[in-house]
Structure 1
Amino acid sequence: MAIPSEKELLNAACHLGHPTSKWHPHMAPYIYGNRKDIHIFDLEQTKDHLEKVCAALKKLQSEGKQILFVSTKQQSIPLIEDLGDTLNQPTVTKKWLPGLLTNWNTIKERLRYYLDLQDSFRSGTVEKYTKKEQTSLRKKLTKLDAALSGLSGMKRVPDAVFVVDAVRDSVAIAEAKKLKIPLYGICDSNANPDDFTAFIPANDDAISSLTLILGTIKEELSS
């Protein structure tokens, strides 16, 4: 998949920002204007920034670097999970565990416990416990699965983080910034672009926009 044209970005509703009353002033350079009090992105810049982000992420991918893809936004979850599976990269889609980056050593131990517990059910060794204990362990596994299933291959703090919604997943951004981890992502008109190493000024809500942008990233990085 080539970088989408401005027309393709328009057709996917990538140009639609948030209401003008909810904007972040630092997004002003990337906004073409407004229509019915909705900010409209300059799609020439959206296209250019998408190309730059893809190039940066592709370089990291080709060097064997670890990129953590983050989005707890419901409509993007299947897209992020598919992206992670295709690129063999870690993902967070259900909930962000506080300290995932800044307290990685503790999270790493919880991840190890989760993988061991998962293996005990898969191999059948869990059957050495009583039925009551197995039920309790199953509940623990279900809870851990929601938080850690996308991180099973993550062995260290990632080399970069990609965030779909900078406002919704602001804790992920704060932790990455604290550790000076390069940040990439989609930056809607209500987000602060200064948080990012490189970003795509675009609609982060519409499924059509997310499908086109994340699909482009997947194809560019896997080609």
Structure 2
Amino acid sequence: MQTIDLKVLLEAGAHFGHKTNKWHPSASKFIYKAVGDIHIIDLVKTKQHLETARDFIYQQVSQGKEVLFVGTKRQAGAIIKQEAESVSAPYINSRWIGGFITNWQEVKKNVEKMNQIEKDLKDSTKMAKYTKLERVLMDRERGKLESVYGGVRKLEKTPDILFVIDVRKESTATAEARHNGLKVVGVVDTNTDSAKVDYVIPANDDAVGSISYIIKAIAEAYKEGKEVLEKNLEKEAKELQSKKMAEQEKKAQAEKEQKVSKEAKE
């Protein structure tokens, strides 16, 4: 993984917090100083916490855990989509789906419905049975479902970890995750309660440059963790196959010896 660069964080504007009259007391440990009426975030701590969060994501993903990328604010949506898709990670970038974790079975039904409609629309034989209006209505429904569930179409179970941009905005997602025992990795600005996050990344959560740099760092950790997981699974599969073949050979040898012994007695 690439080294987290203080200079790049500075150029990205990751150090700019909110106005001093909007700060949250829990952010005091991340604030370097106030310049005028703006709090400045200590980028040394941003770097340290980002590295810790990145290592956590890497370790968890390499062990088979799943991470859901969440960023629905205007500045983050497109970046979340781009970076998550680049590493085949699930994401939500339009609006948080209420009950996504607590009512997963209903969410899963909608995802399956979306996938089925997409499959049907590609089936020319099946589509021939519908009128033009019916096909238009089906495609419209697909579009509505995709705008909400498109980023989680391949998610087969509830995620184990949430990576969140702007914990304050995504308070519902964060609360739902913590209530259900999921770990939360989140970008926390000076106006946010950091106590609601397991792995805090103190940084500007409004500037596109800041958001982009952090998302890319986490996405890279996710990708490398997946690569390790796939290699380990491949190794385990080969070892299992070798063990199975050895057992079959051993059984065949035992049967052969038994047959020879029986013939000798006769």
TM-score bin (small chain): over 0.9
More divergent stretch after superposition (20-29 vs 73-82): 73-82
Would you say the 8 A contact 2:160–2:182 is kept in 1?
yes
1:143-162 matches, cutoff 5 A: 143-162=144-163
Would you say the 8 A contact 2:4–2:51 is kept in 1?
no
Aligned match of 1:121: 121
Q: Does 1:197 align with 2:198?
A: yes
1:103-182 matches, cutoff 5 A: 103-124=103-124, 125-182=126-183
Q: In structure 2, do the counterparts of structure 1 residues 72 and 127 end up closer, same or farther at CA, with 3 Å as the change threshold?
A: farther
CA distance in 2, matches of 1:191, 1:58: 25
1:23-172 matches, cutoff 5 A: 23-124=23-124, 125-172=126-173
Aligned match of 1:207: 208
Q: Give 1 or 2: higher helix fraction.
A: 2
1:95 to partner: Cα distance: 1.4
1:119 to partner: Cα distance: 0.9
Deviations 1:34-56 (A, max 9, x none): 11211110111111000000000
CA distance in 1, matches of 2:62, 2:205: 26
Deviations 1:156-196 (A, max 9, x none): 11011110011111111111011010000111111111111
Give the residue type in structure 2 aligned to 1:156: K
Aligned match of 1:188: 189
Structure 2: gaps (5+ residues):
225-266
Moved over 4 A (4+): none
Deviations 1:70-98 (A, max 9, x none): 00112222321122223221100011111
CA distance in 1, matches of 2:174, 2:221: 24
Give the residue type in structure 1 aligned to 2:109: E
Name the SS for the 1:128 alignment partner.
coil
Task: Give aligned-pair identity as a percent.
Answer: 34
Aligned match of 1:22: 22
Q: Higher Cα Rg: structure 1 or 2?
A: 2
**Equivalent pairs, count:** 223
Deviations 1:130-172 (A, max 9, x none): 2222222122111101000000111111011110011111111
